[in-house]
Amino acid sequence: DAGVIQSPRHEVTEMGQEVTLRCKPISGHNSLFWYRQTMMRGLELLIYFNNNVPIDDSGMPEDRFSAKMPNASFSTLKIQPSEPRDSAVYFCASSLRGDIQYFGAGTRLSVL
Amino acid sequence: EDQVTQSPEALRLQEGESSSLNCSYTVSGLRGLFWYRQDPGKGPEFLFTLYSAGEEKEKERLKATLTKKESFLHITAPKPEDSATYLCAVHLLSSGSARQLTFGSGTQLTVLP
């Protein structure tokens, strides 16, 4: 299996622009998680899905952030409009039994 | 408030110098404790999961142990390729988000040749 696949690996954008991050979970996994990692706050859970349904989005920082999972093999995290403080590494992870999570390589986002 | 604290923040060892990393937690109910390794520019890589006090897991030079208040990651005779950030995470019984992991801030390990 190719593991969790995220794209793009790097994204540089200007403040106010829309950013879309993409994730393909491991085939057969039924839970998907979006995390954000910064030096100051470490690894924080933003939202997670179970069987394509959002279960907990309490970690989403504000309304500028949204996430979707239209099917079992694809999810997006969108930031609109983006701000410099959104600069971070965003990780997607998937899980089969809801405990061991397998992470993608991440998307490094820089908002100028 | 549920907390996960890792120490030390950074650790430098000579090749072959054994040591331990600590993960202490103050949580109302522990469903499981996880150790991950993260290399620069990559996502966390799963190492171990521990579910009950007294449990131990081993993989090559790494051994993870769990008590009621903390977990240790013991590194025996480390090599330079063991250099990475080691993250601890807990899965809580009491969490309304039953599948949510809470991560510590990590220990950055450097093994010098």
What are residue A46's phi and psi, to 5 degrees?
-95, -50
pLDDT, tens digit, 9 for 90 and up, residues A65-97: 999 999 999 999 999 999 999 999 999 999 987
Question: Tokens at residue B90, please?
Answer: 């807990």
Note whether B57 and B50 are within 8 A (CB): yes
Residue B97 has pLDDT above 80, yes or no: no
How many whole angstroms separate alpha carbon A43 and alpha carbon A21? 17
pLDDT > 90: what percent of chain B?
77
Residues of chain B in contact with residue A101, where contact means CB-CB under 8 angstroms, are 34, 46, 101
What is residue A97's predicted lDDT score, i.e. its pLDDT?
Answer: 72
What is residue A62's predicted lDDT score, i.e. its pLDDT?
Answer: 85
Are residues A105 and B43, on separate chains, in Cβ contact within 8 Å?
yes
Among B42, B100, B105, the residue with its CB nearest the CB of A56 is: B100
How many whole angstroms separate alpha carbon A6 and alpha carbon A93? 10
Residue A41 has pLDDT above 70, yes or no: yes
For chain A, what is the mean pLDDT?
94
Are residues B43 and A31, on separate chains, in Cβ contact within 8 Å?
no
Among B46, B91, B97, the residue with its CB nearest the CB of A56 is: B97
Distance of CA A12 to the CA centre of its chain: 16
pLDDT, tens digit, 9 for 90 and up, residues B48-82: 999 999 999 999 999 999 998 999 999 999 999 99
Note whether B24 and B70 are within 8 A (CB): yes
Q: Is B40 on the interface with A (CB under 8 A)?
A: no
What is residue B98's predicted lDDT score, i.e. its pLDDT?
Answer: 54
DSSP string for A35-50: EEEETTTEEEEEEEEE
What is residue B3's predicted lDDT score, i.e. its pLDDT?
Answer: 83
Mean pLDDT of A3-11: 97
Note whether B89 and B36 are within 8 A (CB): yes
Question: Tokens at residue B15, please?
Answer: 């090749």
Residue B96 has pLDDT above 80, yes or no: no
Question: Tokens at residue B65, please?
Answer: 């142990």
Are residues B46 and A102, on separate chains, in Cβ contact within 8 Å?
yes
Mean pLDDT of A45-57: 91
Note whether B32 and B91 are within 8 A (CB): yes
Are residues A100 and B34, on separate chains, in Cβ contact within 8 Å?
yes
